[in-house]
Structures are given as structure tokens and as C-alpha cells.
Amino acid sequence: MKHLFDLCNEHEITLVRKVVQYCEAPPVRKSCVLINHLGNGWIYLMGAAALLAWQGSSSQQALLAALLATGIAHCIYPTIKRRLARLRPCDLDPTLDLSIKAMDRYSCPSGHVMTATSVGIPLGFAFPSLVPMIAVAWILIAWARLALGHHYPSDLLVGALFGAAISLPMGLLLI
């Protein structure tokens, strides 16, 4: 696996550098930091409160599915992350500005994208009208992780696949 990551790192670091460089302007960088902080959990609390206010008790089943999928994912993902042990782009390339410290040491899979996926899929099943808003939130979270130099694009893909693998069955069973 390490050799595969070394190959991917060589190819993906150029894109990461370009995205980080593109996002160096202070307003863009501040937006990335804000989105990253929201993706640490705050966006989900605010979203759940808004959904409960909008849909009341009819949102409880979808919120339960999202909570269970996310809980299961977060029980498994740290072990996978430690086993893969892929260093973050900002750790491999000291020229990347590390304006915000990562929550943990390794980059693959992206926990932020995994969480956005594991929450977004059940909510999208239950409330199809929210899919565009869920997609925008997902894209912004993924973009911020890349723009901060914390992840390679493949980390985002693996996080999304992992989140989907858990939340799709959960959404189908509970909604």
C-alpha cells in the first residue's frame, strides 16, 4: 500500500500545490478555515436543529440514520487511517502553508468528507429537495480540506466511498 501512496503522492501533490496557491488570498483562506471548522461538527448540529425546526418529528428517522451511519463510520475509520498511515500533503511538502492544524496525523481517508457523505446520503434520501444544498456543503468541505493542504484528492474519494458504503445501507434500511 505504501508504494501505491508514494505513486499517488507524486501525481497528486502538484494539484494540491495549485489549489493551496490559488486559495492563498486572505478572504479565500479565511473561508477555507471557517468551512473546515464548521466541518469539524458544527455544521451538523446547526443542520440538525434547522431540520428539526423545519420538519419537526418527521425528520427524526433521517437524523437517526445519519447519526448511526456517522457513528459506525467513526468507530471504524481511525483504525483504517492508522493502518494506511498516509502522510498529509502538508507534512510531505513544507512549502504548503499549514494555517490550521489537522485533527490527526494521517490523511487517508478524509474524515471530514466521510462524515459529510454519511450524513448527506440519508438526509438526501429522506428530503430530496435538500440534495442541492447537501451537495454544495459536501463540495465546500472537500474543497477546504484540499485547499488547506490536509488531503490529496484520492483521500477525499476514499472518504466519500467509505461514508457511502456505510450510509447507503443505513439510509435504505431506516428511511
Give the Cα separation of 11 and 21 in Å (integer): 17
The 3-state DSSP class for residue 103 equals coil
| Residue 139: domain span | 2-174
Whether the pLDDT of residue 1 is over 80: the answer is no
The 3-state DSSP class for residue 112 equals helix
Can you give the pLDDT at residue 118? 97
Whether the pLDDT of residue 147 is over 80: the answer is yes
CB within 8 Å of 157: residues ≥ 6 apart? none
Cell of 111: 474524515
Can you give the pLDDT at residue 10? 82
